[in-house]
């Protein structure tokens, strides 16, 4: 978690960085870093519920846009954060990011896919590989990256919404917004990104990658 906090600071896309969690040990892990640490309600069903709770607090109500970086994305590229924010700045109430799918990810249930139309808006999110003969040539299927930019006006409505069909079973909180007709803009990256940490093998690969970075800094 400390690595994620430092990564969020290094992106340099926000005026203030907040780590929100329902476990004090997570907040203790980021002590000593220049971030706000906020303890949230344990009853939240997804990360956006947690973000919405924090955004509603008086000390954060002055912000217009909130960028949410999920803790399982320690290697989030700056381009993904900038792409999500750009979609909101361009008029979408909710922005996220997508990258080219690598061959090994096509049938991987842990890699979320997003179908994007010609205007860069999400048509569908799924853990399975979507397919349709009705799609035009402008439609793309990308690897969804777990970063979200929200208009705060949207976050203030979020906690009033019940989970959408399929949201809990697939673990895709963005379906809640889509179910209410919220446009989700997708910033498209040119290159594939390192995957989120969803499995033990992902964790092992991430630790090995961090090890090479640390070794390179020492040498």
- The pLDDT, as a whole number, for residue 212 is 72
The residue with greater pLDDT, 172 or 10, is 172
Q: Is the pLDDT at 214 greater than 70, yes or no?
A: no
Q: What is the pLDDT of residues 169-179, one digit of tens each?
A: 899 999 999 99
- The pLDDT, as a whole number, for residue 163 is 92
Q: CATH for 65-218? A: 3.90.550.10
Q: What is the pLDDT of residues 80-131, one digit of tens each?
A: 999 999 999 999 999 999 999 988 888 888 889 999 999 999 999 999 887 6
- The pLDDT, as a whole number, for residue 213 is 61
CB-based contact 130:141 (threshold 8 Å)? yes
CB-based contact 4:73 (threshold 8 Å)? yes
Identify the band that residue 215 occupies on the pLDDT scale cut at 50, 70 and 90. Answer: low
Long-range contacts of 36-44 (CB under 8 A, 24+ apart): none
Q: Is the pLDDT at 35 greater than 70, yes or no?
A: yes
> Both tokens of residue 110?
């842990």
The torsion angles phi and psi of 60, rounded to 5 degrees, stand at -115, 5
Provide the b/e sequence for 191-215 (b: ≥16 CB within 10 Å): eebbbbbbeeeeeeebeeeeeeeee
CB-based contact 49:148 (threshold 8 Å)? no
């Amino acid at each position: 978690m400390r690595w994620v906090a430092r990564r969020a600071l290094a992106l340099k896309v926000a005026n203030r960085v907040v780590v929100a969690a329902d476990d004090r040990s997570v907040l203790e892990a980021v002590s000593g870093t220049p971030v706000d640490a906020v303890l949230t309600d344990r009853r939240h069903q997804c990360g956006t519920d947690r973000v919405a709770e924090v955004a509603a607090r008086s000390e954060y109500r002055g912000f217009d846009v909130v960028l949410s970086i999920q803790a399982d994305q320690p290697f989030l590229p700056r381009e993904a954060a900038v792409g999500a924010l750009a979609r909101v700045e361009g008029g979408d109430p909710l922005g996220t990011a997508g990258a080219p799918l690598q061959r090994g990810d096509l049938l991987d249930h842990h890699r979320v896919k997003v179908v994007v139309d010609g205007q860069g808006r999400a048509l569908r999110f799924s853990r399975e590989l979507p397919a349709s003969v009705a799609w035009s040539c402008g439609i793309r299927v990308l690897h969804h990256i777990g970063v979200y930019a929200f208009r705060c006006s949207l976050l203030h409505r979020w906690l009033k919404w019940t989970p959408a069909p399929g949201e809990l079973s697939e673990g895709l909180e963005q379906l809640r917004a889509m179910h209410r007709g919220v446009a989700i803009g997708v910033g498209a990256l040119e290159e594939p990104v390192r995957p989120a940490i969803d499995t033990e093998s992902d964790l092992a690969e991430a630790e090995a990658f961090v090890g090479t970075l640390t070794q390179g800094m020492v040498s």
